[in-house]
Amino acid sequence: MKAAVGNKKSKGTFCAFCHPSLLLLIVAIQFLMIYSPTLDQYMVMLTTDEFIPEPHLRCDFSDNKSDVYEMEGAIRILGRELEVFLVAPRLASISGRSGVNTTGLDANATRWKIQPYTHKGESRVMPSITEVTLRLVTVDEAPPCDEWHDVPVIVYSNGGYCSN
């Protein structure tokens, strides 16, 4: 009796494009929660409960397969609207102090649309990938927080060939 492992017919059910190694990190969003009540040049105290760190956005377009955006600071995500907010503690942070890597980006922009997919060169698939909006906003413009997490967040699409 032969094992099904060597049976070539069983391989037809596996989608080669859905292999976990191809579902790479597209957008890495890391946020920082401050637990200590200290106030330094990078922090602004809003209330006794909330501190907003200076925001940082780093963009890496060097890989020919995917772009990586790394956000650090107070991050707010509205999943239904497909928007990610990087919160600046004051208006001055938005103009020039956000740590934005201007390679490929407008240095004065406060909004970017990205398509979080692992193969940015796939011209047949990219039109079907839903865009996510990254926004740099002030505390007053940011949506309120409903939940707090102190772990990194990854936003990506496993759509395209997988149809997800």
Find, among 62, 12, 2, 24, the residue nearest to 156 by Cα: 24
The mean pLDDT value of the chain amounts to 66
Is 114 contained in some domain? yes
pTM: 0.59
Q: Which residue in 120, 17, 4 sits closest to 61, CA to CA?
A: 120
For residue 5, tell me if it sits in a domain: no
Q: Is residue 117 part of a domain?
A: yes
Q: Provide the residue range defining the domain that includes 44.
A: 26-162
Assigned domain for 2 exists? no
- Residue 38 has a pLDDT of 41
Whether 106 is in a domain gets the answer yes
Q: Give the model confidence (pLDDT) of 1-16 as tens digits.
A: 444 444 444 444 444 4
Q: Report which of 114, 118, 92, 93 is spatially closest to residue 105, judged by C-alpha positions.
A: 114
Question: Does 97 map to a domain?
Answer: yes
Dist CA 10 CA 1 (whole Å)? 16
The answer to which of 72-76, 85-89, 115-119, 138-142 has the lowest mean pLDDT is 115-119
Read off the pLDDT band of 152 (50, 70, 90): confident
Number of domains comprising the chain: 1
* 92 within a domain of the structure (yes/no): yes
Can you give the pLDDT at residue 1? 45
Sequence-distant contacts of 36-45: CB under 8 A, at least 24 apart: 43/89, 44/89, 44/90
CB 143 within 8 A of CB 133: no
